[in-house]
Chains A and B, each alone.
Chain A
């Protein structure tokens, strides 16, 4: 049988260790094996990232906490978009539309009812953006892939035009000032305070996303991406799962929008233009489609260019999007699966 030639390597490793065979030298550098295994998985890295965030929050540095806050809401955006772009493989380039819905919902609620707990604001913003994506998901995913890209771009443009022109949401002036958020009686006025809240939110978002991607839901999305027909023949309804992914992305974009509104105390149309949608999409592609850690990394690179690089190299100011674009093109040429994406296995003919 051909089976005998392809037995798993790890089996042998375990056997040797159990039989007590004196191996030439230790394989680890004194690190416990459980920790090493965690390092190979995404949750280990995310734990490390959150730990770094906690250190930044403890340090209380104004610049770095603002930097971390910005990175958090971008990361929530890219992680959400990864469900559609990475797992389902649908070209969604209108993510800023749902970011806008969340941000404006939060801004309206916080200005109209300043006493509202930020948790409620967060849920309302998530629900608003989720409902918007559910409603729009039906027409969007009736289209084939290329048209999904076009229609989502159109969607983002429509939302951008609406928020620039509708007086109810402040038109070009936007909504400001938004009162500073408070959670369970604790006021979140400063960047470090918001960072603590943001880290908890981020941890929940990451845990939920990783879990969702590894159960039946995530598996069905991956199946649709890999082979739509084989997925359908296995009993998967593509439309249902694509809309599901779109809604998950929408809810997360709503959370990010609320956090954005709470963070800056100002919501205006300039943050939600068509470029914002593309930039978020580029960050996901840069990090690696399908990898949540990659999505975070993409967001980190994006915020790194916009906030750090511009501070240290003032000459590039105004060309942030260009730099990101060049990076994305370079990545697509040199490493098509993105920084952390899984390499493609070509189907045998």
Chain B
């Protein structure tokens, strides 16, 4: 071994110590660096954890929001047609055209339809002809359709009145409608939410509360309502409707007279109906009602005549006629139809007694007249207790009718031979008949008394005195 001096040894030891310590401190330095890195990572992780924890905590709230939106969107899209329904749209358009009265000429699908988004737009362009009111009804059919359809644009070109053509004029139209189809599968897959049904049930109120924000407006078109077509020149022709002479158009004064007469009749009908309502005498009530019905029928005839001949050409008179006469009469008829639901029991019994008395007294014409007044009020459901009384009234009426027919038969009873035992005999129209003998078709001699004969005519027993 090499002999080293003391100093060298000390130097070697010192240097070795320094080097090794340096290594150790180098390690410490490196480790400190690593520790700092770790601290940085931890800090970063903690931020991430904080964010992730916040997200985790938000899950129930976000789930709720998603459930509410999903459910509401499911409801919202119900207003849109399903993809499969689009094929039915052509059928729907045809049925709308049919019900409104327009004549569909063309229907062309527009561009669009294929879309990767959630909503695909479909457009259809149509060309058709019809009156303004038919067009409005047709358009309204789309606007009040159960599925969302909107009219994006339309064009109306006014038609011209042909020679001698009366009534509403047909115009030409082109209209574009637009609808949307919801594509459920568009976008990402929905996030599965565990226990969905229960959560949905719990959120029912919230779902409904938030759903109120969407509403599809609708409008019910109520028709012409006595208005004129604004796409027709309303000025009357100088030479009359036909343009061939001063025919077809009455002077204003005459038109006013017609309206005045009709208004008076309408007032009379109203008065009769009022009196019928107010009277406590049932038979009087029917009398008033009958008179009102007769007058109503007369006014209706006049209305038809006015409309067919277009007698009222003055716009203001025509408007008053339609509002105050035609519409009023229509309303009265409608009300009348609603009221024909049947008579009360006490009223029925009064009628029954009247018919019975009339039959006993031989007032057959009265009985038949009375029945015709109340006939329309005698319809009752099978289980209604009034049905029995109504049937009895009908039977009495049939008897009265048979009685009327019987009274028209020539039956001259000149004598009777009443036997205690055996069949009695009567001399009728110069011939002798025994009890039970047929006299004519549907007519039999039923019983013979000293001063009368009882016949069986069409199933009804009728007694007649000897002359």
A binds B: no
Q: Which residues of A contact B (CB under 8 A)?
A: none
Q: Which residues of B contact A (CB under 8 A)?
A: none
